[in-house]
Structure 1
Amino acid sequence: MLDSLLQWLGIVKKQRTPDMKKFLIAGLGNIGAKYENTRHNIGFKMLDALAEEEGVSFETRKLGDMASFRYKGRTFVLLKPGTYMNLSGKAIQYWMKMEKIEPDNLLVITDDINLPFGTIRLKAKGSDGGHNGLKDIQEKLGTTKYNRFRFGVGDDFAKGRQVDYVLGEWSPEETEKLKERLKRGAALVRSFGTAGLANTMNTFNNT
């Protein structure tokens, strides 16, 4: 009763109700042409492939480039943070709030050197694994319980050369194989929003 009166008087803002049919799909990467075709930018590349399949284009918004599409009654909001990899959490936190998206409806796409090239794995939670982008998201959201889609980039690098490897470009052989892997990843994203986390994990993990 009191809350309703205060809202009527404009003293208390009405809470924004989360839209459970809306999903934020955040692909991690670094902005700029020199990073475009690097392994670390698989998140951007995955969203570009998905946007192309859906016939939508990205536009520059606050803290990143964004696009959206509808599929089977769900809204998918695609975000490529413009804050560089190590500050990815800032953009994700902002757009979760603006779009009224709950953590359960967030999916973060990132590279993973601990998985063989092309392996895709969906997880509901986990550590940052030394990944600076995930580390920042964890700090900004205050939890490790957010969904992540990890794309294997392999670990074919000498000791101490990890940074050079992930910031290096795909080999010609990897580039060719990426075509099918990107299609598979796009299908995973749609399934995440329509079939749910558990079903999608069962269907796509390690395929």
Structure 2
Amino acid sequence: MVVKFDVDLNEPLVFQVGHLGEAYDEWVHQPIVSKEGPRFFANDNLEFLTRTKWWVIPLVWLPVVCWLVYVAMQRGLTPAQAAAAVVSGIVLWSLMEYSLHRFLFHIKTQSYWANTMHYLLHGCHHKHPMDALRLVFPPAATAILCIPFWSLIRLFSTPYIAPALFGGVLLGYVMYDTTHYYLHHGQPSTGVPKKLKKYHLNHHFRSQTKGFGITSSLWDHVFGTYPQPKVVR
């Protein structure tokens, strides 16, 4: 006999959600729209590490972007070449943004540890989409994720181009995280920002298997995952 597990929202969530098993995917995609975020861990130090204010992202990473571009120019790139590499990095990030969101953040899980890791990575955002302190990635987690991406860029580009290219990727990431925060907590009334907000909230509340871009819907159009407009009858 299989006993259904119920998550107690008044208790730390991270080590509970794994017990949901196959029911996790359905549970995590039933959002609780509240600005009050849940507690993740009983340990105060671990809990602190899960919370990040949006302005920390540009504060930490924009100086790194500038330093990387400076290193590339010190190695011989002209300003025009460095700018081209940065723009290429932003485009590369946009594809990574789409791919990570579609194939990693929305992977189906059912084992205890897979559910737990998915909840920490992205599931918590779908369960509590208005939790302002968990909308952006903590810098420590981003630094760890940077290691394999930096290694790949070094492998497939030259020592002159790699720093500026990676700087562009990081700049794309900063644009992604700050845009993502704005789409949830900003109130755009016209133009592109309003369309992006509608497009992203559609992903959360109507069609969670479509609309994987954040800063742009480009790759959704390319790969056929752009959500169809709601038909009014």
TM-score by length of 2: 0.25
- Structure showing the higher strand proportion among its residues: 1
- Structure showing the higher helix proportion among its residues: 2
TM-score by length of 1: 0.28
